[in-house]
């Protein structure tokens, strides 16, 4: 997930991984390597055990997420449902109610 700033560093999550038993089973921060060209990226992953849940959130008929990351084929852009679900799970992992920063890619 890409943002304009590495806001997670403000919460003490600078580098490393947070593992969980939720659908989003790992969130990874890359330290200074996360910020490039005005964008900051945090990796949110899931396992093969939760693929069906994520596929359901990313069906082709769902509204696609509009990103600022350039010309990306729509078939590769996730649905807003999938992005929202990942954000909610990341909030739970970091002990937050919501993330005020806008996702850009």
Say yes or no to pLDDT of 100 above 70: no
pLDDT band at 72 (very low <50, low <70, confident <90, very high): low
Say yes or no to pLDDT of 42 above 80: yes
Of 3-12, 20-29, 92-101, the one with minimum mean pLDDT is: 92-101
84-102: average pLDDT: 76
Check residues 101 and 13 and name the one with the higher pLDDT.
13
H-run or E-run covering 15: strand 15-19
Work out the angle at residue 45's Cα, subtended by the Cα atoms of residues 35 and 98, and round it to the nearest 5 degrees.
70
pLDDT at 93: 78
Q: What is the pLDDT of residues 13-36, one digit of tens each?
A: 888 888 888 878 888 888 776 677
Contact 15, 30 (CB under 8 A): yes
Nearest to 82 by CA among 98, 100, 103: 103
């Amino acid at each position: 997930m890409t943002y304009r700033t590495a806001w997670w560093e403000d919460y003490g999550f600078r580098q490393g991984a947070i593992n969980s038993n939720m659908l989003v089973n790992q969130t990874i921060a890359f330290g200074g390597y996360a910020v490039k060209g005005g964008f900051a990226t945090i990796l949110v992953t899931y396992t093969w055990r939760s693929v069906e849940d994520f596929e359901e959130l990313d069906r082709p008929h769902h509204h696609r997420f509009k990103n600022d990351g350039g010309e990306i084929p729509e078939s590769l852009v996730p649905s807003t449902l999938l992005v929202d679900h990942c954000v909610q799970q990341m909030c739970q992992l970091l002990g937050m109610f919501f993330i005020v920063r806008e996702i850009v890619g």
